[in-house]
Amino acid sequence: MSETYNALFTQPDFEKLKSIVSEHLRIEEAMIEHNVPTFYLKQPQETKQAFLTLLKKLEEINLIAFLRRIDGKLVLKIFPKPPAKQSNILINWLFFLATIGTTFTTGYMISISGGFINPLVGGATFMATIMAVLGIHEIGHKLTAGKKGIEATPPYFIPGPPPISGFGGIGTFGAVIIQKSLPPNRDALFDVGASGPILGFIASATATIIGLPFSIYTTIPKGAPTLPVPIFIRLIAPLLLKPPTGITIEPGYELAVFLHPIALAGWIGLFVTMLNMMPAAMLDGGHVARSLLSERKRTILTLLSIVFLAYVSPLMAIFVLFLSMHKHPGPLDDVSDLSKSRKILAAMLVVIFILSFSYTT
């Protein structure tokens, strides 16, 4: 059987495919439509596990299948598997090293402005913590993708400007992995989307818990801009922050907390988790929503997410608006339901989003 993407399926090819499909799924009608082997399946029948088994068989002959519900019918279409573009690992390393430099510089400058920690120590601790927080998040995606048979790149760490020239940079724009193939079903799509925020939240919360006791109270002019505070930090701060002592609050000033570089990295991780869990486009929350909800509900949530982000992070809102112009491809099997255990786990993700939610008072 031909292995090129634009392969033509001959009648013997089609008969062979029909035999393979019929081993796993009950066929009502089979035909070649526009050179695409197409199978209309009988209803009702179990499709989730059967489709996974079929995918493995097709992979042996470099083919791939899509299962969709079209006009109330179950339709299976088979295509040549598109070749995955080879990654250049050198780019990953260059971005990684550049981000180490920019995040170290950020931690160094923040430590100088705080004046309560050696700048070299502050730079190193901030760099190590933020790289760990971002890395753990992306490794969660990467490991889950590999477990589910989804081709994906190693993480790309994205360097950003440190806080210079009045620009409030943090030394990085985050990290991403790029999926090179679609997840097999909604379970896999959910797992890939959920794994990053769950591990990222754990890493961020850990960094925050470690860093808060080393943070200090200070005074700032009333009305001065401050960071929005995640609900998680609001809950644990009274337990971990030392009560302010020996501080004179002059008229027109108020108490504030200057975060230790480790705690600041935890705060960034929580804030990024909140943004990433917006149920829109190709964000992590968008993957989860795609596996759970109808298109109409996802459209409403996407619009609400963009409105919310326009208030919290206008640049992020523009980015999500751009992403939302491209339809989410979904999984290969877009018919089988999400498992009940994952629907329960979705409630845990809502809790993580709430705990990561940041606001100012």
Report yes or no: 275 and 238 within 8 Å, Cβ to Cβ.
no
Q: How far is CA 36 from CA 2, 68, 246, 274, 333, in A?
A: 13, 14, 77, 42, 17
Q: Is the pTM of this model over 0.85?
A: yes
User: Which residues have CB under 8 Å from 15's CB, separation 6+?
Assistant: none
pLDDT at 5: 41
User: Which residues have CB under 8 Å from 210's CB, separation 6+?
Assistant: 262, 263, 266
Domains, the chain: 11-80 (3.90.1070.10), 89-214+261-276+331-359 (no CATH)
Give the residue carrying structure tokens 């490794």: 139
CA distance 233 to 241: 10
pLDDT tens-digit series, residues 308-347: 999 888 888 998 999 888 889 999 999 999 999 999 999 9
Report yes or no: 169 and 163 within 8 Å, Cβ to Cβ.
yes
Provide the CA 57 distance to its chain's centre, in angstroms: 30
Other beta carbons within 10 angstroms of residue 16's beta carbon come to: 15
pLDDT at 166: 55
CA distance 45 to 242: 62
pLDDT at 55: 96
Residues of the chain below pLDDT 70 = 1-7, 165-168
pLDDT at 67: 97
